[in-house]
Amino acid sequence: MSEQGQKLEIEHTEDDGRGAFFLAKQGIRLAEMTYSRAAEKLVIVDHTEVNEQLQGLGVGRKLLNALVAWARETETKIIATCPYAKAQFERDPSIRDVLSSAG
């Protein structure tokens, strides 16, 4: 089955102040957006990586959408230092509500 034909489920993990939204297949991470916790309700998104098999399928944006939904749910603010995430926030005003004014 092709990657496009599969329903890829975005997972979230956080441990000791470091977290990630990711896609995994057979225990191998194929895409991830990582963050570090700067305060109880503030995270810094620092990296996005998508396996070349999945590039061009909008996976990076799916990871960002999951992060934004989580931030809204948990009332967490985001500072984006990752170039990809930063560019997406600049392009799309509809998701800027989760950005920290400190960022």
Within 13 Å, how many C-alpha atoms sit on residue 80's CB side?
20
Whether 66 maps to a domain, the answer reads yes
Q: How many domains does the chain have?
A: 1
Whether 24 maps to a domain, the answer reads yes
Whether 103 maps to a domain, the answer reads no
Whether 6 maps to a domain, the answer reads no
In tens, the pLDDT along 25-72 reads 988 999 999 999 999 999 999 999 999 999 999 999 999 999 999 999
Whether 74 maps to a domain, the answer reads yes
Beta strand pairing status for 77-80 and 42-50? parallel
Whether 3 maps to a domain, the answer reads no
In tens, the pLDDT along 2-21 reads 444 456 789 999 999 999 99
| pLDDT value, residue 4 | 46
Is the distance from CB of 76 to CB of 42 less than 8 angstroms?
yes
Give the range of the structural domain holding residue 70, as residue numbers without chain letter.
11-97
- Whichever domain contains 79, its CATH number is 3.40.630.30
Q: What are phi and psi of 91, to 5 degrees?
A: -80, -30
Whether 53 maps to a domain, the answer reads yes
What DSSP state is assigned to residue 99?
A: B
Would residue 17 be called left, alpha or beta, if left means φ above 0 and alpha means ψ between -120 and 50 degrees? left
